[in-house]
Structure 1
Amino acid sequence: MMKPFMHHQVRAKFDTYPPEARRRLLALRELVFQTAENTSGVGELEESLKWGEPAYAPKNKAGSTLRIDWKEKDPLNYAMYFHCQTNLVETFRTIFPHDFTFQGNRALILRLEDEAPQDALAICIAAALTYHLKK
């Protein structure tokens, strides 16, 4: 059962994605909410659009905002973005060197045609959502 959207603008954004990208991003969205529920200290998430992308952040400020998106200029991939001034992506690159393609210090790139590494993604999501608790 899919988590209801908190804002119609976010739902409208998902409606703009091509079918396969939408399916993958909705699954990623569900993983974000599941991981938040199962991670101590995260609490309730706020869902919004930041820079036109679906964004998720703990309402209690326990962690850093993460965003997900698909871009027309890179149609075979979708991504999860992290605050570039954190060491999150650098850490993920060390822990999961073969699970993702990385974009600088800000994103994990996933291929639409591949199954996403759920366990690794959940660890990355939990790290972002608890970032301020662990600094």
Structure 2
Amino acid sequence: MPDLSRSFQNAAVADTFAGFPGDARAGLLELRDLIFETARDTPGVGRIEETLKWGQPAYLTPDSKSGTTIRLGVPKTGGFALYVHCQTTLIAEFRSLFADGLTFDGNRAILFQDGQALPTEPLRLFIRNALTYHRE
């Protein structure tokens, strides 16, 4: 269940979340919490900046510069999604590891259906890899 007590430091991000459809918003808030938790538990990542990029909530590692940007959004097909830069190898790597357990959109997103239970451990690994992508 998402931690709704975690405040938004950026009013534009809060407004964007408020504008998401209810079912998608619940899943996106759960992903948001997972990003912050994983960052906190991953040495060397440092502070996470939450901002908007391309109109979507985006999560950056501005101090350590260790990661690639993670974005959250609602695809045109419905549900909700976790996006990374399409020129990273993250999606390709995870498609080979979790082809049966995750749904992908090309080389840029992991897709979820509204109300779907999130596969927390694979997602935690994916987020950790995104947050440390430039350290490798």
Give the distance between the partners of 1:110 and 1:84, measured in 2 at CA. 18
Kindly report the root-mean-square deviation, in angstroms, between the aligned alpha carbons of the 2 structures: 1.1
**TM, length-normalised to structure 1:** 0.93
Give the distance between the partners of 1:81 and 1:43, measured in 2 at CA. 20
Give the distance between the partners of 1:24 and 1:108, measured in 2 at CA. 13
Counterpart in the other structure of 1:87: 89
Aligned-pair identity in percent equals 42
Counterpart in the other structure of 1:29: 32
Q: Which moved more, 1:4-13 or 1:105-114?
A: 105-114
Give the distance between the partners of 1:64 and 1:114, measured in 2 at CA. 26
**TM, length-normalised to structure 2:** 0.93
**Paired residue type of 1:16:** G
Divergent runs of 4+, >3 A? none
Q: Where does the alignment leave 5 or more consecutive residues of structure 2 unmatched?
A: none
Question: Is residue 2:134 matched to residue 1:106?
Answer: no
Q: CA deviation at 1:100?
A: 1.1
Give the distance between the partners of 1:103 and 1:123, measured in 2 at CA. 18
Q: CA deviation at 1:74?
A: 1.9
Q: CA deviation at 1:115?
A: 0.4
1:64-85 per-residue CA deviation (whole Å, 9 max, x = no partner) reads 00101114x322x210001111
Give the distance between the partners of 2:135 and 2:113, measured in 1 at CA. 31
Q: CA deviation at 1:6?
A: 1.8
Q: CA deviation at 1:97?
A: 1.1
**Paired residue type of 1:45:** I
Counterpart in the other structure of 2:65: 61
Counterpart in the other structure of 2:121: 119
May I ask how many residue pairs the two structures share in their alignment?
132
**Paired residue type of 1:92:** F
Q: CA deviation at 1:3?
A: 2.2
